[in-house]
Structure 1
Amino acid sequence: MNDLTQTLAVSASAMKAQSTRLRYISENIANTDTPGFRRKMTSFEQVKEGGEVSGKIQTGGVRLDRTDLPQVFDPSHPMADETGYYEGSNVEMLIEMSDARQAQRSYEANIKMFDQARKMASSLLELLRR
């Protein structure tokens, strides 16, 4: 039974991590046209419990994409300099959409794993009741 509860905990941690990743992706998409906005990224880290790897994951800290911001020519923009340029956002919609799709699929896979472990635990408890 302990293995099944560990599987539930691993799946839940993965769903939480993918949820956090999706939040950053949605913030990036919302700020695509915000001048000077840098894309937010996160990484996944293994959780150690008692000095051993538990199988669970968590998100690391937020990192900003350090690629150069594109120079946008629009002399009428309030942030434009004397040459008519301002710094745009380095968010690429194609990258954000593919990252969102990958996070969604990973989330769905973890939901299926969680549900399967829950069904197995329920079946085991039903057998023990007999």
Structure 2
Amino acid sequence: MDIESALRISAAGMNVQGTRLRVVAENLANRDSTGQTPGGDPYRRRTVTFANRLDREIGANTVRVSRVGTAQGEFPLRFDPSHPAANAQGYVRTPNVDSLVETMDMREAQRSYSANLGVLEASRAMLTRTIEALR
């Protein structure tokens, strides 16, 4: 594998992890976003799906975002009869966002981003040393 391939693979990894971090941040920002009308749906957690893609220029698989979708499942209920979105029994449907899960996803994405950044920096350092040796 040449240095250009390593740079492109690392850059693709950083790109998808950056997207993942943005989705996690959106989920955390909306973890308390309920519906505005009785029976209205609250914010639904978003998820990121990855896929391998063959980069024909470098002859290697790189990762990309396949799709950003929504997590299915039930919305937790919270008793708050004064809320505008409360149903007849006084319960409000809350988002299906779990702060602990989002925090773990964020940490994993940060570590993956950092690992790809490390490969990028090491590749750049090797390229710099090669250029200096050729002078």
Could you tell me which runs of 5 or more consecutive residues in structure 1 were left unpaired when the two chains were aligned: none
Question: What residue is the counterpart of 2:37 in the other structure?
Answer: none
8 A contact 2:17–2:112 mirrored in 1: yes
Q: How does 1:61-76 map to 2 (within 5 A)?
A: 61-76=67-82
Say what the alpha-carbon RMSD is for the aligned residues: 1.8
Per-residue deviation, 1:7: 0.2
Could you tell me which runs of 5 or more consecutive residues in structure 2 were left unpaired when the two chains were aligned: 35-41
Percent of residue pairs bearing the same amino acid type:
37
TM-score (norm 2): 0.88
* Alignment partners' CA distance in 1, 2:52 and 2:16: 11
* Alignment partners' CA distance in 2, 1:25 and 1:56: 22
Question: What residue is the counterpart of 2:38 in the other structure?
Answer: none
SS of the equivalent of 1:13 reads helix
The structure where helix makes up a greater share of residues is: 1
8 A contact 1:46–1:54 mirrored in 2: no
8 A contact 2:55–2:62 mirrored in 1: no
The 3 A distance-change label for structure 1 pair 45 and 31 is same
Question: What residue is the counterpart of 1:13 in the other structure?
Answer: 12
1:89 aligns with 2:92: no
1:119 aligns with 2:135: no
* Alignment partners' CA distance in 1, 2:48 and 2:98: 16
Per-residue deviation, 1:49: 2.9
* Alignment partners' CA distance in 2, 1:114 and 1:74: 50
Per-residue deviation, 1:53: 6.3
Equivalent AA in structure 1 for residue 5 of structure 2:
Q
* Alignment partners' CA distance in 1, 2:47 and 2:69: 5
Equivalent AA in structure 2 for residue 26 of structure 1:
A
* Alignment partners' CA distance in 1, 2:54 and 2:8: 13
Equivalent AA in structure 1 for residue 82 of structure 2:
S
1:30 aligns with 2:29: yes
Deviations 1:11-50 (A, max 9, x none): 1110011000000000000000011111110021112234
The ranges of structure 1 where at least 4 consecutive aligned residues each deviate by more than 3 angstroms after the TM superposition are none
